Every structure is written in structure tokens, then in C-alpha cells.
Structure 1
């Protein structure tokens, strides 16, 4: 992991974070209109693509940094949380789904910090699949609003998978605390990828 801050991957992550308030403003101001939803959808997809691009560039250009490892999950969670809260306020996603998803994200973040002196919980494929499911939910709700059978299935599947992966992190955290004694200083993450 390099120590430099000003890299192209970090710039893309920063742009994603800056896009969050713009995206939220569009949903708040005109999220009840088809035009507003399509603009919000375009912003969300563009921001999501930067998430794919910054990780790929960081690995292939050997530009994984501590700053990027810190900022990347913050940008991801800010984008997802803003989308879900604003869409629930507009009636596009049920509030119970938003509350459960955000509660899981908060719990996993607290858990990761609590066991940091024992070690870092590595990223899992389940966590990446969870992010993909949440992204699909948001895209579908913006592109085809309405409580359809398809959206219902996607919401239920996303919430269940989000909760299951959260429980999985709990199991991993418990195993980590049993396997490793507390270290004097937290170990650095092996790369830019962090648990989601």
C-alpha cells in the first residue's frame, strides 16, 4: 500500500463522494417526476461505475493507499444510504427495508472498529454480492417505480442477504478475537478492498 494521496483512483472516489449530495438533491427536489428519477438514475449509475473503476485502477497501477482504503467505503455507504433514505421518503422503497439495511451497515462498521486491535476482517464475496444486490434494488426502483412483484422479490432478497452477510461478519469477528491476542497497533489493510 502506497502512502500518496493524490492518485487517479482516489480522485474518482472523491468524485463519487461529491456526487452524493447532488444525487440526493435531485431526488428531494424532483424525485416525484419521471425526469427527476431518470436524472437521479444516471447520477447513481455514473457514481457506481467510479466504484468499479477506482478499485481496478488502484490494483493495476499499484496505487492502493491508506487514504483510498479509508475513503472508498465511506463514499460507497454514503451513496447507498442517501439513495435509500431519499427513495423511502418518496415512497419508492419501503422504510422497513431501508432501516434494516442501514442498521446492518452501522453494526458492521462498529464491529470492525471493535475488533481492529485483533486484526482486520478481510473482504468477502458475500459482501460484494450484497453491494451488487443493493445497487440492483436502487436501479430497479428508480427505473421502474411501483410496488411490483419483481421489486418486492428484489427488496426481500436484498434485505435477507444484507442481514445474512452482517451475521457472517459477526461470526468472523468472534473467530478473530479468539484466534489472535490484541496487537499493540492495528495492522494495515492488505489492499484497497475492505469489508462492505
Structure 2
């Protein structure tokens, strides 16, 4: 395994610690959980940087990175349902998109990396989760909920775009004939 892949796998170790910290959390525990979440989220950028910079882009990394990202996102979303902060059906929309794309990717002969929409979706999810984890005064919890729904919209849009086959130009169509 490459260094980039090890960085990706390191995110997995944060999830159980995060889940332990958010059981009956105090304000301090919520800040700690937010810190853990953000450090893990930053490793998503770091593993991509290392993979590209040191020519460590692999099919295993292209498969594991989005899978680990999904687990990192699902853990706090499930906690936010448990806390009564988010409705389960909103999180279900995110879960449905993520599992659909993951299943679709498994059946591809060549695994492609995330596109701009997928990256925007990930950033919007991280922002929304961060705002909702932090024990901030009003109006920030409402801003977090609005951010969550924006993230849901981007999640659905990016999923639809991911599944739509790219259009061929006329010259590409003629060269295949």
C-alpha cells in the first residue's frame, strides 16, 4: 500500500473514537468531536495531494478514498439523527446516493476519481456537519440545518451527474464508426 492509501485508511481509526466521544456529550466533548472530524476530513485532501504529488494514484486508492469518506460522513449524520438534530429521511437521501454511486463504481472496469460536483458535495457535507456538531449559539444551529439541506441538494445533483454518461462530440462519434 502507498503512503496515500495509508493516510486514507487512517481516517477509519478516527471514526470509533469520534463515536465514543459523542455518547452523551458535554460542550467540550462536542468540540473534541468536531476537531476529530475536521482532522479526519483534512486527511481526505492530504491523501489526494500525496497521491498526485508522488504519483501514488492507484485503483485501490480511488476505490478506498470515497468509501472511507462515506463512513466518515455517515457516522456524524447518524449521531445527528440520534440527537434529534436532523430528520432520518434527509440522511436517507444522502445514504441512498452514496450507496448507489459506490455500487455503480464497483461494476466499472476503470474507476474514475471524483469530479467537481462530487468534491463540492463532500465540502458541503463537511461544512454542514461541522456547524451541527459545534455547540454554537443561535442562529448557528439553524445555519447548520440550512447547510445540511444545501448539502443534500448537492449530493443528489452530483449523484445524477455521476450516473449520466458523458456526451460524445461529433468527431468522437465519427472516429468510432
TM-score range, shorter chain: 0.7 to 0.9
Structure 2 residue ranges without an equivalent (≥5): 173-177
Partner of 1:56: 49
Given the alignment of the two structures, is residue 134 of structure 1 paired with residue 128 of structure 2, yes or no?
A: no
Structure 1 residue 125, shift from structure 2 partner:
0.2
Relative to structure 1, is the Cα distance of residues 136 and 51 closer, same or farther in structure 2, using a 3 angstrom cutoff? Answer: same
Q: Which of 29, 34, 40 is the matching residue for 1:36?
A: 29
Structure 1 residue 64, shift from structure 2 partner:
2.0
Structure 1 residue 120, shift from structure 2 partner:
4.1
Partner of 2:164: 171
2:65 and 2:148 map into 1 onto residues whose CA distance is 25
Given the alignment of the two structures, is residue 162 of structure 1 paired with residue 155 of structure 2, yes or no?
A: yes
2:62–2:113 CA contact under 8 A, matched in 1: no
2:14 and 2:44 map into 1 onto residues whose CA distance is 12
Structure 1 residue ranges without an equivalent (≥5): 180-196
Moved more, 128-137 or 73-82: 73-82
Per the normalisation by structure 2, the TM-score is 0.83
1:68 and 1:76 map into 2 onto residues whose CA distance is 12
Relative to structure 1, is the Cα distance of residues 120 and 74 closer, same or farther in structure 2, using a 3 angstrom cutoff? Answer: closer
Moved more, 105-114 or 133-142: 105-114
Partner of 2:175: none
Partner of 1:113: 106
Partner of 1:82: 75
Q: Which of 6, 11, 28 is the matching residue for 1:11?
A: 6
2:63–2:111 CA contact under 8 A, matched in 1: no
1:133–1:158 CA contact under 8 A, matched in 2: yes
Cα deviation 1:122-146 (Å, max 9, x = unaligned): 5310110000000001100011467
1:165 and 1:71 map into 2 onto residues whose CA distance is 19
CA RMSD, 1 decimal: 2.4
Per the normalisation by structure 1, the TM-score is 0.76
Partner of 1:20: 15
1:109 and 1:79 map into 2 onto residues whose CA distance is 15
Moved more, 150-159 or 34-43: 150-159
Q: State the number of aligned residues.
A: 168
